[in-house]
């Protein structure tokens, strides 16, 4: 099996179609809406949660079966059905229309697969086993969620601010020096005094600026 090229997609204000209205579709809908996508659901039935979201106007629900042509204008589609024949028709349409497609649990029909995700603030860690074992991906996600390394995600905003300031000042810092300055001392100081941590980080970075 060829490896997958990892990527993060910008779906904000893009049309995303989900075929299916069950619990799996519900989770996919939540993730897409969180990222600002325009979601359209096609399914004769839907969970209560999906119905509530549709009732609130956050998505468009078409209460019917999928039919060819439903992917027109879509950026991305997710097939969350148990019908193999329908999934194959959806995959053919997606290929013709050049729409990114994920068919849940049918890797051979996908043009992208959904990773197991660990979120902490603005930091997202995506884990994939290239479709070989979703259970292993989930296990790795659960282990990472307990890792102390994720504490560095808490300073993402601070790091972004310092990075922007250095750019404005014309200071260039190579990646190795950045790595050296993002250390446990800064992290520990951040927990007690965010402003002091910011100054410490900036001072350390400037000492190695080009």
| pLDDT 10s digits, 28-37 | 999 999 999 9
Question: What is the pLDDT averaged over residues 28-47?
Answer: 97
Give whole-number Cα distances, 4 to 115, 141, 149, in Å.
Answer: 11, 18, 25
Give whole-number Cα distances, 100 to 96, 117, 124, in Å.
Answer: 11, 19, 21
pLDDT at 140: 95
pLDDT at 130: 84
Q: Which of 129, 194, 185, 115 is nearest to 156 (CA)?
A: 194
- CATH annotation of 15-114: 3.40.50.720
pLDDT bin (cut points 50, 70, 90) of residue 109 is very high
pLDDT bin (cut points 50, 70, 90) of residue 132 is confident
Statement: the pTM of the whole predicted model exceeds 0.75: yes
Per-residue pLDDT at 2 exceeds 80: no
pLDDT at 208: 87
Q: Which of 79, 135, 136, 137 is nearest to 108 (CA)?
A: 79
pLDDT at 5: 87
Distance CA 86, CA 19 (A): 10
Reduced to 3 states, what is the DSSP secondary structure of residue 206? helix
pLDDT at 1: 60
pLDDT at 209: 82
| pLDDT 10s digits, 56-77 | 999 999 999 999 999 999 999 9
| pLDDT 10s digits, 140-190 | 999 999 999 999 999 999 999 999 999 999 999 999 999 999 999 999 999
pLDDT at 3: 79
Output the average pLDDT for the chain.
Answer: 95
């Amino acid at each position: 099996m060829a490896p997958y090229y990892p990527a993060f997609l910008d779906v904000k204000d893009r049309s995303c179609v989900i075929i299916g209205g069950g619990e799996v579709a519900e989770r996919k809908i939540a993730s897409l809406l969180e990222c600002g996508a325009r979601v359209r659901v096609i399914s004769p039935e839907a969970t209560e949660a999906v119905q509530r979201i549709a009732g609130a106007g956050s998505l468009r629900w078409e209460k019917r079966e999928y039919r060819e042509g439903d992917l027109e204008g879509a950026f991305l589609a997710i097939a969350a059905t148990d019908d193999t024949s329908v999934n194959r028709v959806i995959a053919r349409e997606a290929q013709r229309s050049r729409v990114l497609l994920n068919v849940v649990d049918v890797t051979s029909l996908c043009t992208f697969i959904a990773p197991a995700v660990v979120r902490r603030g603005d930091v997202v860690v995506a884990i994939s086993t290239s479709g070989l074992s979703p259970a292993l991906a989930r296990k790795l996600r659960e282990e990472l969620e307990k890792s102390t390394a994720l504490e560095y995600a808490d300073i993402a905003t601070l790091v972004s601010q310092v990075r922007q300031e250095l750019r404005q000042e014309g200071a260039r810092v190579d990646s190795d020096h950045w790595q050296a300055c993002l250390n446990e001392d800064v992290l520990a100081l951040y927990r007690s005094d965010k402003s002091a941590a910011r100054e410490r980080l900036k001072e350390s970075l400037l000492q190695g600026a080009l």
